[in-house]
Chain A
Amino acid sequence: MDWITIISTTVKSAIGVETVLYALAAIGINIHFGYTGLLNFGQAAFMGVAGYGLAVTVTVLGLPFWVGIGVGLAAAVLLALLLGAPTLRLRADYLAIVTIAAAEIVRLVFRSVQFRDVFGGSDGQRGFSDGFYALNPFPEGEYGIGWFSFNHRLLWIMLVGWVLVALSCGIVYLLMRSPWGRVLKAIREDEDAVRSLGKNVFSYKMQSLILGGVIGSLGGFIYGLAYASVQPDVFGTETTFFAYTIVILGGAARVLGPVVGSMIFWVLLVLVNGVLSEAVQAGYIPFMTSIQVGPVRYILVGLGLILLLIFRPQGIFGDKREIAFDVR
């Protein structure tokens, strides 16, 4: 078995593009679910509208990169307003239903044959990332030591990604120690109590939905720029569920929970994948084919998550004391 490959891909995945973009999506979910108690199951749609906003603005409309970023962010805010306006006054479960449906609608529109000229159908869009890589300060080449190295393009997107993660965490840290964050946490506990104390609960929920959606949408930009393309099926429901998994893994309502959760999630996936595929190729697991490795790694990671929830329900960073009370 090629342990060098297994170890190198695993270590690199701890800080890789996937980790970054899922960390951003999960930081958003943490604001929604962890702090405010909002069940937004449409995080993938926020990432999707951002990625496609950028792609369509640059490739179809021929406008510059920065305009694309602006369009993507505006699309995320608009999506939050559209989703929140009819549902945030209703019970929590309505938001869950509406967001999961809306995310599918968004994906199917991107995929549709009618809008092929705009969104590119199931192939998606490509060729919109030149503006971003033109800003790359690293000259062409490989950076790092031995197998722990990245090319200049990867290094640039990872740098930008981690800066965004750090900024997002800083904002969450500041907000959640402020009276604004206190209102959010109070809404998670009991909306009516918060209303009775003179706070406009609807407005705070909307602000939370927008903030978490916008931070999640940064993950959509990172995806589009790292792979220099967007496809509709990347922004499917499982992307959202991965983000939830990551939040719970790291510990909900913890500033760094989503970041550490994302690192662990991807390290585990890549490690299990690497070991299994090498073992199958070497013939150690005769009853498995290499095609089965993909699904099996998810089964194993899911099993690990179940064990985690049983033995450490508060997640890695969570506070055991908080689990002692009923969430509702």
Chain B
Amino acid sequence: MSIEPTLSTDILVIGAGPAGIAAAVSAAECGRRVLLIDDNPQAGGQIWRGTNIDQGPVSARGWLQRLESSNLQHINGCRAIFLADSNLLIADLHGQRCAIRFEHAILTSGARELYLPFPGWTLPGVTGAGGLQALIKSGLDVSGKRIVIAGSGPLLLAVAATARRASAHVLCIAEQTRAKARRNFAFGLWRHPGKLTQAIRLRAQSIGAPYSADAWITQAEGDDRLAAVWLKHGTRHRRIECDLLACGFGLVPNLDLAQMFGCTITGGAIAVDKSQRSSRQNVFAAGESTGIGGIDKALIEGRIAGFAAAGSADKAAVLLAVRARTQAFAKTLAKAFALRDELRTLATPETFFCRCEDVPLSAVRAMPNMRQAKLASRCGMGACQGRICGSAAEFLFGWRDTASTRPPFTATALSNLISPSIEASQK
């Protein structure tokens, strides 16, 4: 049997988004051995995906340069798959198993989008909002394409900006939140000047893309691809022909890693103390996975976690006030973009609720919880392991037992799992 590479490090950071990069760089600056891994082909996470180190926004450039010049070890295309013991992680590195021994781990697994089922949501041409942005950043050519952006949250504006820079026609941005709530959000931003300027810049870039608050998707039409969408705006219905629909209803923390490490999860996010330490003594967490709050929160929490894991709590102490501000902003954000009740009734009984196993809403709606729904219908048991429908179920039905992905939580070659003793196989 081939011997898999075994790596060893003081501090293992999982997820190379802003939080992970800040954590890794900060810990390395304290003189610790640091290994940063990420599933993606490139570092940068969601926001800095595909950012060229010589271009891109200043903060992205700064951090990516620090990452490059830091003496930490950094591996892309490497996905955490299971924890063999509290200090040994098994990862999939380009289809090969690799074992990583570590003292402390920092979980910076970020967030994913919330998708809600509506008629037509499985049609090719319907993507997530951030999903479309990620595809554009990874090379999708949208020039001349007619795009409708729908859902909720500041991300919609960022997606519009990306699409327009790539020469797409953004026909409409439909934001479900009530106009009043969004004004409050804009007002609340004054307490967070960095955010305000970002919002204005994004808004300015997306000028020309009609923006409607109080508007939401009700249906997507097409045969084997998207042809048109229906929006509801207040009490009016409107049909718009388009090539692409980019639709996301905000973000939800990725908790798979936290579950794998046995960390306590509270209110849908990894619970951490003041030094970003989780309920597990040697495990820290930072960024969107400890609560949705955007880039500033991710960076500051990442730095605090990096310093704390490296044993330099004094360096973290001066950052606490800034963190409190970014966390307050996160609360403002959640309130301003709370999802309206109408979104719970978009799907018809025939609409697929679980798109991996093609389970219609009618098969699960009467169930008391996710466990029962799985047993009765296979919903949540397909390739995504309930990541898409589980998050939807939390919003639609209030189910709380949806975070049930088990290691290995993404499909991985069986050969990566069969050897029971990693240490033994090295001898």
A and B bind: no
Q: Which B residues contact A (CB, under 8 angstroms)?
A: none
Q: Which A residues contact B (CB, under 8 angstroms)?
A: none
